[in-house]
Amino acid sequence: MITESNDVKRQENHLNESNQKEELLTVENLHIKFYSEGKKKITAVNNVSFRLNRSETVALVGESGCGKSVTSFSIMGLISKHVGEVEGSIKLNRKELNGIPSKKMRDIRGRDISMIFQEPMTSLNPVHKIGDQIGEVLELHTQFSKEEIKQKTIEMLRKVGIPRADKIIREYPHQLSGGMRQRVMIAMAMACNPALLIADEPTTALDVTIQAQILDLMNSLKSNFQTTILLITHDLGVVAEIADRVMVMYYGQIVEETDVQTLFATPKHPYTVGLLNSIPNLEEDSKRLHPIEGNVPYLGEISEGCPFRFRCKDAMEKCSHENPPLISLDKQKVRCWIYGEKEVTI
């Protein structure tokens, strides 16, 4: 009997492990190009490929302008044909999303994939009550009755730690603090229990103490809902708090990808090293902060070579002519000539 139940347990553990590795989102060879003056196109995202497995939290990090938000907008199907082109494959549960009719994409948004943004006021409607805004998502994607929608809305608000949820549903966004508004956004995003939550700089606009509370909340969502989270941030402190894996982005490309421990212990790409060195360290004198010199180049400014070479202390002759491929090392993938040239596929 004991052996049998142990066997069952082992089998369950095995299943759980393979469940955790089950892929949810696969992005392959993603290119995002925007139309500029005339017929010219500028590339904002250049050949990005990655995979998110079920229940994991993956951070996409990089300085402002690296292409993090536009990557997430393309996953949400929010890049209109009038402003640019999205090429490549974006599959959720092995089903292609890129290029599907906008009506189909509207069904998926909010139900299978939802998103929270840096500034909740831009996504909450100021003239509608909190309860109605969450209710609308449920009305769109479920068959719930009016009463069920109300109960579910209150339940979601309670789950994200909002006190007096039954009163809050009758209030307007401006009556809440920034932290509470972000909780409302999270409740709205989680209302239909989406498989994928994209959080774009969810704590950037908040005070440090509120930031910590929102990160705690996101950590509890991870364990309670088993949601897969794509967390976009420029803040490596946030990454350390919540992510399992990290992808570092520079000038529209992924330049390093690894698990969070490896990233902090043995960063490989000179850009990642630079980002880590620029984290303020409480024990050090603030004068010893080491920001990366220079800026992310303007889009279209660089036609060949490695786009980081201008800011890189290790740049070699080759870096001016050839953009390095993403190669696989023992524990991480990196795009830098220092480490050789054997290209990887995801």
Ligand X SMILES: Nc1ncnc2c1ncn2[C@@H]1O[C@H](COP(=O)(O)OP(=O)(O)O)[C@@H](O)[C@H]1O
| Sites of contact with Mg ion (CB under 5 A) | 69
Residue 109: CB minimum distance to ligand X, A: 18
Residue 10: CB minimum distance to ligand X, A: 44
Number of H helices, E strands in the chain: 12, 12
36-67 b/e with 16+ CB inside 10 Å = b?
eeeeeebbbbbbbbbbbbbbbbbbbbbbebbb
Interacting partner of 33 out of ligand X, Mg ion, none (Cβ under 5 to 8 A depending on kind) = none
Q: CB-wise, 62 or 179, nearer to ligand X?
A: 62
Give the span between the Cα atoms of 184 and 168, in whole angstroms: 10
Q: What angle do CA 324, 37, 323 make, to 5 degrees?
A: 5
Q: CB-wise, 117 or 337, nearer to ligand X?
A: 117
Question: Binding string to ligand X for residues 218 to 247, with x set by CB under 6 A, is what?
Answer: ------------------------------
**Contact between 86 and ligand X per CB under 6 A:** no
Q: CB-wise, 20 or 36, nearer to ligand X?
A: 36
Q: CB-wise, 69 or 74, nearer to Mg ion?
A: 69
Residue nearest to ligand X (CB): 69
Sites for ligand X among residues 12-71 (CB under 6 A): 34, 44, 62, 64-70
Contact 237, 282 (CB under 8 A): no
Q: Which two tokens stand for residue 342?
A: 């054997």
Query: What amino acid is encoded at 343 in this protein?
Result: E
Interacting partner of 11 out of Mg ion, ligand X, none (Cβ under 5 to 8 A depending on kind) = none
Residue 171: CB minimum distance to ligand X, A: 31
Sites for ligand X among residues 258-317 (CB under 6 A): 299
Contact 224, 299 (CB under 8 A): no
Q: CB-wise, 42 or 329, nearer to ligand X?
A: 42
Q: CB-wise, 70 or 134, nearer to ligand X?
A: 70
Interacting partner of 46 out of Mg ion, ligand X, none (Cβ under 5 to 8 A depending on kind) = none
Q: Which two tokens stand for residue 307?
A: 């786009």
Residue 1: CB minimum distance to Mg ion, A: 56
Residue 79: CB minimum distance to ligand X, A: 8
Q: Which two tokens stand for residue 152?
A: 């579910």
Q: Quick one: DSSP state of residue 128?
A: S
Residue 343: CB minimum distance to ligand X, A: 24
Q: CB-wise, 62 or 307, nearer to ligand X?
A: 62
Please tell me the total number of residues recorded for the chain in this structure: 346
DSSP string, 233-272: ES-HHHHHHH-SEEEEEETTEEEEEEEHHHHHHS--SHHH
Looking only at the bridges linking them, the beta strands covering 245-250 and 57-61 are parallel
Q: What is the Cα 139 distance to its own chain's centre? A: 26
Per CB under 6 A, the list member of 15, 83, 279, 289 interacting with ligand X is 83
Strands (E), 69-119: 84-92, 95-96, 113-116
Question: Interface residues with ligand X (CB under 6 A)?
Answer: 34, 44, 62, 64-70, 83, 299
